[in-house]
Amino acid sequence: MPTEHNLYRLLDVAVTATPHEIRLAYELARRTYGGDSLATYSLFGAADRQAVMAQIDEAYRVLSDPERRRVYDATLTAGLSAPAVAATRADSVRPPPEPPPSPEAVVIPDVITGRDLKQWRESLRMSLQTIADLTRINIKYLQYLEEDRHAKLPHTVFIRGYLLQYAKALKLDADRVLNGYLKGMGSRADA
């Protein structure tokens, strides 16, 4: 098993992967190479499997922490090896990343703007592309919602559906998000 590896390749994610995509890839890798996996049972002995799992865990620790990831990315562009990143002092003393706030902790005001939607999404460390993938809503419409570009949005009946799906993807009270955003839209909501 090689000692040098690319952490992105190890988790099979792009360098531009979001924290959510990294977490999903990590969970998939753990299931794939875990002790209960029949797919890899005959490919790896116990020691090899432990080594692979340790590398997967290390990849997740580095790539899920924004500061560690920044340092790691800098070493990739500088041509340093992954073990050199793990040995850096900043990397070894940095505490694990804070978990995102729970959706229940989000205070939903009576009037909601696109900026509110964007802040909630970013606080949960979700990319707009992730929301688009989860809801199957065209990313342009999601951008228009977050930018309060109401004139670019389709009829209100579609906006209602978009807002309900958006809120559900963030695990927020969908009715409160819908009503608050429509209030923020003003007379357009009555169209």
Could you give the CA distance from residue 36 to residue 118 in angstroms, rounded to a whole number?
39
pLDDT tens per residue, range 95-112: 555 555 565 666 788 899
CATH 1.10.287.110 holds for 7-93: yes
Contacts of the segment 103-109: beta carbons below 8 A, 24+ positions apart: 103/170, 103/171, 103/172, 106/170, 106/172, 108/172, 108/173, 108/176, 108/177, 108/180, 109/180
Q: Domain map of the chain by residue range?
A: 7-93, 103-190
Q: pTM for this structure?
A: 0.47
Maximum CA extent, the chain: 66
Selected from 2.40.50.140, 3.30.565.10, 3.40.50.300, 1.10.260.40, the CATH number assigned to the domain covering 103-190 reads: 1.10.260.40
pLDDT tens per residue, range 19-50: 999 999 888 888 877 766 555 554 566 777 77
Token digits for 100?
Answer: 């995102």
